[in-house]
Amino acid sequence: MEMKAPIVLALDTPDLETALGWIKATQGVVSVYKLGLEFYLTFGRDGVKRVLDHTDSDIFLDLKLHDIPHTVSSAALALSSLHPKYLTVHASGGRAMITAAVEAVPTTFVTGVTILTSLSEKDVQEVGFKENAAVSAVKLATLAVEAGARAIVCSPLEIIDIRTALGNDVTIITPGVRPSNGAPADDQVRTLTPQQAIERGANFVVIGRPITGEWVNGAGAMRERAVEIAEQLR
Ligand code: C5P
């Protein structure tokens, strides 16, 4: 039997009709659809509305806002009529900025992005963090939640530390997972399987190419991939 799994499907495509096709193929299996910066800058609010017309699942706007509090507040307010369930901000934007976003869109889960997993330890030092990525991520997650964020995006390797520090009220969302179903790793390194991420305490896993990638042939196969992963998460 199919039911929605804790999967956030990344609609990473420059083609709106393709995105709508992916939604159709995975409807009822995926809990949340994630629209990133590329999608928003290409299709804007109208694109988001088209997506909303095609699904009753939640929308995750992954715009990673990072600016002065006033600007972030205005930007979040501009998005409020789209009613995204999740909206990302960089936790490193600071307490006042995060709170400004939370106050602008009180019904949205403002979601703090901790340390980008694309940064190496050397990069983390270079941009000025005193501590390593894992310790810095817990500090940023703590700051974000204290400032009102209700969700956190982090590497699967940081789930346990963040869950231990912040308890069960915060929603933990993790990309960087790869199912053991033959999907290519692509550019993801140091991955866990979706099942391992959920076992470690993530509420949702973000998945893109293992479901939507070119290696998956057609809508039927795409649904099969999604259902296969969903079944491992039950
Ligand atoms: O295709 P794949 O499963 O790698 O897609 C993962 C999604 O999660 C992409 O939208 C990517 O931008 C996003 N993401 C990530 N790693 C992060 C943050 C976001 O892969 N650290």
Can you give the pLDDT at residue 185?
A: 77
102 in Cβ contact with 148 (< 8 Å): yes
User: Does 56 have pLDDT greater than 80?
Assistant: yes
Please indicate whether residue 206, judged by its CB atom, sits closer than 6 Å to ligand 1. Answer: yes
How far, in Å, CA of 21 to CA of 35, rounded?
Answer: 14
Tell me, in angstroms, the distance from the centre of ligand 1 to residue 206's CA: 7
How far, in Å, CA of 143 to CA of 93, rounded?
Answer: 10
Sign of CA dihedral 158, 161, 162, 168: positive
**Beta pairing, strands 86-90 & 109-113:** parallel
Tell me, in angstroms, the distance from the centre of ligand 1 to residue 74's CA: 26
**Could you give the residue numbers annotated as active site?**
64
Tell me, in angstroms, the distance from the centre of ligand 1 to residue 103's CA: 27
Can you give the pLDDT at residue 215?
A: 74
Can you give the pLDDT at residue 2?
A: 55
Domains and CATH numbers, the chain: 5-232 (3.20.20.70)
How far, in Å, CA of 140 to CA of 67, rounded?
Answer: 16
Please indicate whether residue 207, judged by its CB atom, sits closer than 6 Å to ligand 1. Answer: yes
How far, in Å, CA of 12 to CA of 34, rounded?
Answer: 8
Please indicate whether residue 92, judged by its CB atom, sits closer than 6 Å to ligand 1. Answer: no
Please indicate whether residue 28, judged by its CB atom, sits closer than 6 Å to ligand 1. Answer: no
For residue range 121-164, list pLDDT tens digits in order.
899 999 999 999 999 999 999 999 999 999 999 999 999 999 99
Q: Which amino acid is at 13?
A: T
CA end-to-end span of the chain? 11
Of 186 and 209, which is predicted with more confidence? 209
pTM: 0.95
Please indicate whether residue 209, judged by its CB atom, sits closer than 6 Å to ligand 1. Answer: yes
Ligand 1 atom nearest the C-alpha of 213 is: 1
Q: Whose CA is nearest to atom 13 of ligand 1?
A: 175
For residue range 169-197, list pLDDT tens digits in order.
999 999 999 988 777 777 777 789 999 99
When pLDDT is cut at 50, 70 and 90, the band that residue 3 belongs to is confident
Tell me, in angstroms, the distance from the centre of ligand 1 to residue 132's CA: 21
Which residue blocks in 55-148 are alpha helix, DSSP H? 69-79, 95-104, 121-126, 133-146
